[in-house]
Amino acid sequence: MPPRGYAYLISIIGGWGLAWPMIKIGLNEIPPWAYRGLMLPVAGIITFALAWALGEKLASPRGQWGLLLVTSLLNITLWTLFSTLGLRLMGSSGHASIIAYTMPLWAMLFATLFGGERPSWIRLCGLALGLTGLGILLSGELGAMAESPAGTALMLAAAISWGAGTVLHKRVDWQLPPLTLTAWMLVIGAIPITLVGLATEIATLQPISVGAIWATVFVLLISTVFCWFAWFQVVRLVPVLVSTVGILMVPVMAVISGGLLLNETVGMREISALACVICAIALVLIPFGRARTN
């Protein structure tokens, strides 16, 4: 990747890693449909404003409406909805993220079957090592998964939809500038969630604490506006397997930040998983001779 790609990736890891406990804090006081139904369109409007301020043309995606609708549905609507509802049902924010970040496995499957990518054995080893790290984290949560099968199923559905959306996004030669494209996806993806939230939960909103407000502002500006823009840029710059394995650090960061902010467990299991994920990222991102992903 060029230097800006590494900067984007590091920012994503930090922003999305911290987002999981922040979302948990917000969901403790705000119903899930209202939480996302209000946040996503605001994020889209902010992104449109940033695009306009930076001189991007706020054009409509002529000839690509169908692709944009499907990509927005997979990357924004289904991912956001499934992950939010699943997180609300599961006890630990960090460990909920572990299931969601099996996404690279699904992305690799879709990229191989439909995207024409042929990963090298080194990068396949990196994927296996990264998933091993997630498996180490998940080994302490098997009981919690059994107690919340619906939450587990929702997080898995979120991972599959995001993996499919990532591959589709990579395959399209988008005719829109980066920020404008991100803004369109956020707004389009928000529509069904916002409609349901307005119809079912907005009227039930109660005053929320200062902590929940700040947590929601962080999720809105950092993990939604900035990190989605950065993610689509990384997907554009590198093959699917490279981008998806690169973000396997996110659930490790989520577990650590959950321990710091919500007193969730952080021990040798988490440290061992961190070591596996760091090695996995190194295998995927560092060039080794002629090994590459076509």
- Rounded Cα distance, 84 and 151, in Å: 10
Cα–Cα separations (whole angstroms), residue 167 to 67, 74, 112, 175, 240: 12, 10, 10, 17, 7
Cα angle 226, 100, 143; round to 5: 140
- Residue 78 DSSP SS3: helix
Phi, psi of 288 (to 5 degrees): -120, 95
Residue 293 has what pLDDT?
Answer: 41
* Number of domain units in the chain: 1
Cross-strand partners of 288: 291
- Residue 291 DSSP SS3: strand
Residue 265 has what pLDDT?
Answer: 62
Cα–Cα separations (whole angstroms), residue 168 to 98, 110, 162, 224: 23, 9, 10, 20
**Radius of gyration over alpha carbons of the chain, in Å?**
18
Which two structure tokens, joined as six digits, stand for 100?
Answer: 């969601």
- Rounded Cα distance, 59 and 256, in Å: 41
User: Does a structural domain hold residue 134?
Assistant: yes
- Rounded Cα distance, 146 and 150, in Å: 9
Residue 289 has what pLDDT?
Answer: 47
Which two structure tokens, joined as six digits, stand for 8?
Answer: 């984007």
User: Does a structural domain hold residue 106?
Assistant: yes
- Rounded Cα distance, 79 and 73, in Å: 8
The DSSP string of the chain is --HHHHHHHHHHHHHHHHHHHHHHHHHTTS-HHHHHHHHHHHHHHHHHHHHHHTT------TT-HHHHHHHHIIIIIIHHHHHHHHHHHSS-HHHHHHHHTTHHHHHHHHHHHHS-----HHHHHHHHHHHHHHHHHHGGGHHHHHH-HHHHHHHHHHHHHHHHHHHHHHHS---S-HHHHHHHHHHHHHHHHHHHHHHHTGGG-----HHHHHHHHHIIIIIIIIHHHHHHHHHHHS-HHHHHHHTTHHHHHHHHHHHHHH----SHHHHHHHHHHHHHHHHHHS-BTTB---
User: Does a structural domain hold residue 59?
Assistant: yes
User: Does a structural domain hold residue 149?
Assistant: yes
- Residue 105, domain extent: 3-285
Residue 274 has what pLDDT?
Answer: 67
Residue 292 has what pLDDT?
Answer: 44
Per residue of the chain (294 residues), what is the pLDDT tens digit?
678 888 888 899 889 988 888 888 888 888 888 888 889 999 999 999 999 998 888 887 778 889 999 999 999 999 988 988 888 887 666 667 777 777 877 887 787 777 666 767 777 777 787 778 767 766 665 555 555 678 778 888 998 898 899 888 888 888 888 889 999 999 999 999 999 888 888 878 888 899 889 999 999 999 999 999 998 888 888 777 677 777 777 877 877 777 777 676 667 776 777 677 677 767 766 654 444 444
User: Does a structural domain hold residue 294?
Assistant: no
- Rounded Cα distance, 224 and 169, in Å: 17
Phi, psi of 116 (to 5 degrees): 75, 10
Residue 141 has what pLDDT?
Answer: 57
- 3-state SS string for 176-195: CCHHHHHHHHHHHHHHHHHH
User: Does a structural domain hold residue 91?
Assistant: yes
Would the pTM count as exceeding 0.75?
yes
User: Does a structural domain hold residue 214?
Assistant: yes
User: Does a structural domain hold residue 292?
Assistant: no
